[in-house]
Amino acid sequence: MPRFATGVVEAVTEQRAGLQRVVVAGRPAYVLTEVVGPVRVGETVVVNTTAVDRSLGTGGYDVVHWNLANPSIEIPGAGHIMKARYTSAQLDSGTWDTDDGPGAVSAPHDVRALVADTVVVGCQLHSHVGALAAAISADAGPTVGYVMTDGAALPMALSDLVAQCRDLGLIGPTASAGQAFGAEYEAVTVPSAVAACIYNGAGVVIVGPGPGHVGTADGLSFSGIDLVGHLDLLATLGARTVLAIRWSSADERERHVGLSHHTRTLLGLFARSHVVPVANETMRDAVDRCASESGLANVAVVTEQVDVAAAMAAAGLEVATMGRSLRADAGALAALGAAASKARQMYGS
């Protein structure tokens, strides 16, 4: 059951579009201002403390549920399409694929035409989005769009990584798909979100979850499994789809050493063919063993890879994953470099 408590806002430590970070009763919390409006020091608020009380990995923050200083609140929405539907936090975000959402135009969009031939990189972890964006866009590379799916966190404002990448110019247009919200463009589906990014200037689009990936030891019980449906659908619509494999030489969990068991699961479930870039023959052998039955993985060994660590350093981007610096994981950097290099090559061909 959820846990709620009341407390006084003692400090506002950070604010940006859609988000405030605050201190409530001595504990860090965040405010989704698009949902409950901003708060001020001295106001009494209701906070959801469930995840922190259970010591779960939500970044160590309580969530401000309501500001008791406001007997009522009205935050005008952009359109009639609702997100976070049927919860008390539902909001009228509108979508770009209607006539009343952010970025909408009067004429209907031809999503099929926009998606066809687009290079789309499927990303399994939110922490990999920034590294991929830095590597793909390096040295005057293509503009990178990012589609945040609703498989993990729903509010894009929660992502420090996306905010940083936007500030650094590593990510151009963003779109939140499904129940996710808070991007530059809102979309009902992943294909329409990809189309929004392409229509608004992206050359390559990364599709992946927001913060808060959920995984278990069971092969089919992890939130990233939705990437199977997303990439298969996009490939059916004519997109040129790339799977960035999850590979690690630093993870202490055996199931994620080398080729993650989550990637192995994806490779066994795809119903369409996707390009799977790898950095060396060791990675190729691991991928081939998983994809041999379906034969749907178009494995590409990329010998000349973008130096992901150098691209991140040049951009001033620092990324942490599972409590450690991504730069400390040579295997992950090599796999991401292969995916970024292949995406750049496909974009230019």
Complete DSSP assignment for 89-136:
T-EE---TTSSSSTT--SSPP-HHHHHTT-EEEE-S-THHHHHHHHHH
- State whether 137 and 269 are in the same domain: yes
Supply the CATH number for residue 182's domain. Answer: 3.40.50
- Mean pLDDT for 166-189 is 97
Does 187 reside within a domain? yes
- State whether 203 and 341 are in the same domain: yes
Does 331 reside within a domain? yes
Predicted structure pTM score = 0.94
**What pLDDT shows up at residue 105?**
65
Alpha helices (runs of H) in the chain, residue ranges in sequence order: 33-36, 50-53, 111-115, 127-137, 160-168, 190-199, 226-236, 261-269, 281-291, 308-315, 330-347
CA–CA dist 173, 158 (Å, integer): 17
**What pLDDT shows up at residue 327?**
73
Structure tokens at 92: 């009228």
- State whether 50 and 121 are in the same domain: no
Report which residue type is found at 44.
T
The residue assigned the tokens 């405010």 is 31
- State whether 10 and 131 are in the same domain: no
- State whether 229 and 123 are in the same domain: yes
Does 226 reside within a domain? yes
Does 77 reside within a domain? no
223 neighbors 151 (Cβ within 8 angstroms): yes
Does 271 reside within a domain? yes
Confidence of residue 94 (pLDDT cuts 50, 70, 90): confident
117-121, 174-178, 188-192, 212-216: which range is least confident on average? 212-216
Structure tokens at 190: 């992943």
173 neighbors 200 (Cβ within 8 angstroms): yes
Percent above pLDDT 70 for the chain: 91
For residue 248, the SS3 value is strand
CA–CA dist 203, 340 (Å, integer): 13
Percent above pLDDT 90 for the chain: 67
Helix (H) or strand (E) holding 48: strand 44-48
- State whether 201 and 323 are in the same domain: yes
CA–CA dist 203, 39 (Å, integer): 38
- State whether 120 and 37 are in the same domain: no
**What pLDDT shows up at residue 57?**
64
Nearest alpha carbon to residue 103 among 172, 159, 11, 157 = 172
- State whether 144 and 51 are in the same domain: no
147-151, 249-253, 309-313, 316-320: which range is least confident on average? 249-253
Torsion sign, CA atoms 15, 211, 296, 264: positive
- Mean pLDDT for 217-234 is 90
**What pLDDT shows up at residue 261?**
80
The residue assigned the tokens 């952009």 is 78
Q: Report the alpha-carbon angle 89-152-23, nearest 5.
A: 60
Supply the CATH number for residue 28's domain. Answer: 2.40.50
Number of H helices, E strands in the chain: 11, 19
**What pLDDT shows up at residue 294?**
64
Q: Highest mean pLDDT: which of 28-32, 103-107, 257-261? A: 28-32
How long is the chain? Answer: 349
Does 92 reside within a domain? no
Higher pLDDT among residues 242 and 293, named by residue: 242
Does 126 reside within a domain? yes
Cα distance from N-terminal residue to C-terminal residue, the chain: 53
The whole-chain average pLDDT of the chain stands at 90
**What pLDDT shows up at residue 163?**
97
Torsion sign, CA atoms 49, 55, 57, 61: positive
Confidence of residue 320 (pLDDT cuts 50, 70, 90): confident
- State whether 272 and 186 are in the same domain: yes
Those residues with Cβ within 8 angstroms of residue 320's Cβ, 6 or more apart along the chain or in another chain: 127, 326
- State whether 134 and 40 are in the same domain: no
Q: What are the tens digits of pLDDT across the range 304-316? A: 888 999 999 999 9
Residue 48 structural domain: 4-67
66-80, 173-187, 207-221, 319-333: which range is least confident on average? 319-333
Does 85 reside within a domain? no
Q: How many alpha carbons lie under 13 Å from residue 97 in its C-beta half-sphere?
A: 20
Question: Long-range CB contacts (< 8 A, 24+ apart) of 41-44?
Answer: 41/9, 41/10, 41/11, 41/12, 42/8, 42/9, 43/8, 43/9, 43/67, 43/68, 43/69, 44/6, 44/7, 44/8, 44/9, 44/68, 44/69
Structure tokens at 160: 């420090």
- State whether 50 and 137 are in the same domain: no
Domain count, the chain: 2
- State whether 200 and 278 are in the same domain: yes
